[in-house]
Structure 1
Amino acid sequence: MDAYLLIDFGSTYTKLTAVDIENEEILATAKDITTIEDDIMTGFNKAYDKLKEALKGKEVNFVNKLACSSAAGGLKMVAIGLVPELTAEAAKRAALGAGARVLKVYSYELTSREIEEIKNSKLDIILLAGGTDGGNKDCIIHNAKMIAESGLKLPIVVAGNKVANDSIEEIFSKTDVYYRITENVMPKLNVLNVEPAREEIRKIFMDKIVEAKGMSNAENYISGILMPTPAAVLKAARVLSEGSDEEEGVGDLIVVDIGGATTDIHSIAEGAPTKSGVTLKGLEEPVAKRTVEGDLGMRYSAISLWEAAGTRKIRNYLNDKDRKIDVEENCKTRAENIKMVPSTEEEIKFDEAMGKVATEIAMERHAGIVESVYSPMGVVFTQTGKDLMEVKYMIGTGGVLIHSENPGEILRAGTFTMENPQSLKPKDPKFLIDKTYILSSMGLLAQELPDMAVRIMKKYLVEV
């Protein structure tokens, strides 16, 4: 039978999914530790041997092999803009939507100290924005000159005021900087246009970054590494929500992805106010939005999760009124043993409490808020960010959710509560779990066979 082999070179595990494209079924999945230190194919081959064992007795012909990757720290970027709340924020959102980890956002004219900081960061790409079309062009030109004079050899995506593009091209053409110019991430005040920049980032990832991360051995085996893993998850979420040419989408949804280092939230929704009399304030929100919380992880970031949440919040989820559990020590143990797999009832219970905390805080940071403001006309309600109260589905992925006997309870921690009525989190969503780790692979499949990807997700995402 003809099949697709879909590969996710993850930061911890390399995950393989074999899809029967005739019967639209998942034939088998397998995973093993990612081996980025020496040869990434070592971990892949171990996972592939497990996959072959699972496929024993079936004649499978892999007609296509597609991959995504977050190995070697994933795609790391800085975003540079003009005003922090406007073009700098727009640049950040474009980078996050492309599957990047944004290390820092810079605003206004870069200083020598900031350039030095950028040079010393372990970056992959710089996103250079600034100014609406026809607006301020001096700032982005200044920043282009600073980058060119610094000797930085990183790829640069220019997505700012189009009036400055000719000057920037002249500046960069005199150096050996690799750069791509695309449409402005904020062509008009408060209007977002992130898709062109996202696409340029994805192309650079394919052309430059994969090779730089020592993954050329993998490139020789597969048809190509198409995108960073988070971008593949966002692609899967979007096609499931909006549908494809032949398949109906399921409507607005949120993906909660709890990992060892970060908790990622992806929402596919317009996010307009659901209550009458509420006016929008601030920068326009993208329909497909991703946020990354680098301090909310189950292993690498366990200490920062404890610091962000506080002992009492974790203890509340543990229902530990007698204070018998040492919260700090449990978090330290996980940070020092990043490959720890919980085996006892106490360890499982603590992991699930961490998962609930990560979900609650990450959702509060991702969702919009509504505030009341007193005016001469009386009380006025304003909304900043997305209203997600009517979202139909919350989809959970990541180890703590997939292995939990009560994944719905972990996801419920990210829903609306009267204790925090300003946060516009989902009110009554249905909970789905990605039991077979297929979201990233379906994002890859959706690049070529979107109708099939939607049908498979509808079939394999499990309601709880």
Structure 2
Amino acid sequence: MRIDILVAEIGSTTTVVNAFNDLDSCPKFIGQGQSATTVLEGDVNIGLKGAINDLSKNLSQETIEYKELIATSSAAGGLRMTVHGLVYDMTVKAAKEAALGAGANIKYITAGKLRKSDLKKIKEINPNIILIAGGVDYGERDTALHNSELIADLNLNIPVIYAGNIENHDEVLEIFNDKDTELYIVDNVYPKIDELNIEPTRKVIQQVFEKHIIHAPGMQKVREMVTGPIMPTPGAVMEASQLLYDSIGDLITIDVGGATSDIHSVTKDSDEVSRILINPEPLAKRTVEGDLGVYVNMHNIVEMVGKEELVKELNITMEELENIILYHKPIPVTDLEKQFVEKLALHATITGVKRHAGHLRHLYGPGGKNTIAEGKDLTQVKYIIGTGGALTRLPNRVSILKEIALSNKGNELLPNKEAEILIDNHYIMASLGVMAKKYPEEALRLLKNSLNLK
């Protein structure tokens, strides 16, 4: 069988391939295959071939040929980054937003001048990319230059992106001139007070990731099979969310996984919130909740909810609950196991979105009460999208997402009850994010089809 394009999602434990045909006429999703990821075997292609073999079985075909194979990856630790800026609430926040939006896994953040302990930490982390920011354009210069010199002296052979004060460009080029480091200079992520400019940095982060992912453990041979772009999986979900935003408007995408819960929002502030917002927020924002996972981090959520509460909600005995926890599987099978995972997914969803969203705060002074807004305003969201294993497969996935609006305590900038619930039924959102790099119109049609949108 001949397939137009295969998209591989190379995860830390599982590799999934999605097959698409008729890109030049009426794009169709025709099937999916999966296998264990084989990073530890030293060759991710073993798992890729296994997933393609599984796809051929699912399609009842002896062999599969394909024109193109593109990929997203969170294997080999994903995209590890460290971020170094000037003031945490300003340039560091802007740099962090750029890194997260590109799909990075941020391992360390510093504000101000780096110290010896910071440099030691950077060496221990051994990130894929180091991001240096600091100072609005034509403002403070010394911190970013100081940090650039210290990082250059480490000579780590790790790509460095400079996204700080524009006045430092020549000096930064000179600092890294005779080093092994690959240097990228982009527009300032925080060019003026209360202005974010994170898209140029996001794009470069994804370019650098694609160039260097082939050096990660187990990924060295990936170019033998993958013919097109490779993106960080969370960055691909963000790419798909932005593509959809341009077509249908304000939205939030929620991906509850086994280890983390990722929240992606693409939405503008309301006029009312914009007037009282104390710090700017990006149009497209991603947050990662590393403690909210329904498999690897299941115990964290059980502790947050409380075993007594779970016993009451599931209408079971404590002994039955302990048994479910002891034999917890990556994919639930029985009705009770599914109900248990739904409770975990509900808590992960509500907690993750509330951490992502902003809130109103009342300040009292001599002039009376003033209200300010902090964080991301989600009140304009028209669509709440569920993707990932839990929110595309659990029986009560729509009810879980409806609880977001119902959970508002009054001061939280959450989506309202009128927001429409959409499910990525084919579980292909990340695949379509990387496909959109070359085939944006086709990816959008396939995404709308998966979401049952006309």
Alignment match, 1:13: 14
Question: Quick one: structure 1 residues 318 and 288, their matched pair in 2 at CA, closer, same or farther if it must change by over 3 Å?
Answer: farther
Instruction: Identify the residue that residue 315 of structure 1 maps to in structure 2.
Output: 309
Cα deviation code 1:306-325 (max 9, x no counterpart): 45x2417x826961578736
1:345 aligns with 2:335: yes
CA distance in structure 1 between the partners assigned to 2:250 and 2:158 by the alignment? 37
Give, in angstroms, the shift of residue 422 of structure 1: 1.3
Amino acid at match of 1:434: D
Q: Do residues 49 (structure 1) and 43 (structure 2) align?
A: no
CA distance in 1: counterparts of 2:339 and 2:186, whole angstroms: 48
Asked if the contact 1:416–1:425 (Cα under 8 Å) also holds between the matched residues in 2, the reply is: no
Corresponding residue for 1:246?
Answer: none
What corresponds to 1:245 in structure 2? none
Conserved? CA contact 2:8–2:70, under 8 Å: yes
Look up the equivalent residue of 2:411 and give its one-letter code: Q
Partner of 2:32: 29
Percent identity, please: 36
Query: Aligned pair in 2 of structure 1 residues 300, 371: CA closer, same or farther (>3 Å)?
Result: same
Once structures 1 and 2 are overlaid, which stretch shifts more, 1-10 or 431-440?
1-10
Choose from 288, 292, 300 the match for 1:292: 288
**Deviation at 1:220?**
1.4
Q: Given the alignment of the two structures, is residue 170 of structure 1 paired with residue 164 of structure 2, yes or no?
A: no
Match of 2:435 in 1: 445
What is the Cα deviation at residue 347 of structure 1? 2.0
Alpha-carbon offset, residue 328 of structure 1: 7.7
Distance 1:12 1:117 in 2: 27
1:377: how far off? 4.7
Residue pair 1:361, 1:414 contacting (<8 A) in 2 also: no
- Cα deviations by residue, 1:40-83 (Å, 9 ceiling, x for unpaired): 11111111012122334699763322111111111011111000
Contact 1:318/1:353, CA 8 A, preserved across alignment: no
Q: TM-score w.r.t. structure 2 length?
A: 0.92
* Cα distance change on mapping 1:124 and 1:330 into 2, 3 Å: farther
2:68 counterpart SS class: strand
2:383 corresponds to 1:393 = yes
2:416 pairs with 411, 427, 450, which one? Answer: 427
Instruction: Compare 9-18 and 96-105 and name the one that shifted more.
Output: 9-18
- Unmatched 5+ stretches in structure 1: 243-248
1:9-36, Cα deviation, whole Å (9 max, x unpaired): 1222211111111331111111122111
- Structure 1 residue corresponding to 2:212, chosen from 202, 208, 215: 208
The TM-score with structure 1 as length reference comes to 0.90
- 1:341 deviation in Å? 2.6
Structure 2 unaligned regions, length at least 5: none
CA distance in 1, matches of 2:322, 2:214: 38
Which residue of the other structure, out of 145, 150, 156, is the alignment partner of 1:146?
150
Which amino acid letter does the alignment assign opposite residue 259 of structure 1? G
How many positions carry a matched residue from both structures?
Answer: 448
Determine whether 1:255 maps to 2:259. Answer: no
Cα 1:105–1:328 change in 2 (3 A) is farther
* SS of 2:67 mapped into structure 1: strand
Residues 317 and 205 of structure 1: is their aligned pair in 2 closer, same or farther, counting only changes over 3 Å? Answer: farther
| Residue 230 (str. 1) matches residue 234 (str. 2) | yes
Equivalent-residue separation in structure 1 for 2:370 and 2:435 (angstroms): 46
After TM superposition, the structure 1 = structure 2 runs for residues 127-142 of structure 1, keeping only pairs within 5 Å, are 127-142=131-146
Summarize the alignment of residues 57-72 of structure 1 with structure 2, pairs less than 5 Å apart: 62-72=66-76
2:264 alignment partner in structure 1: 266
RMSD, matched Cα: 2.4
Aligned counterparts of 1:90 and 1:4: Cα–Cα separation in 2? 36
The question of whether the paired residues in 1 share the 8 Å contact of 2:3 and 2:19 is answered with: no
2:362 corresponds to: 372
Question: Contact between 1:373 and 1:381, CA under 8 Å: does it hold in 2?
Answer: yes
Matching of residue 188 in structure 1 with residue 170 in structure 2: no
Question: Which residue number in structure 2 is paired with residue 89 of structure 1?
Answer: 93
Whether the 8 Å contact between 2:362 and 2:372 is mirrored in structure 1 is yes
What is the distance in 2 between the residues matched to 1:59 and 1:442? 24
Contact 2:268 2:380 in 1 (8 A): no
* Matched AA of 2:178: K
Partner of 1:362: 352
Is 1:278–1:381's contact at 8 Å kept on the other side of the alignment? no
Post-superposition Cα deviations, 1:104-138, rounded to whole Å, max 9, x if no partner, equal 21110010011101111142111111111111111
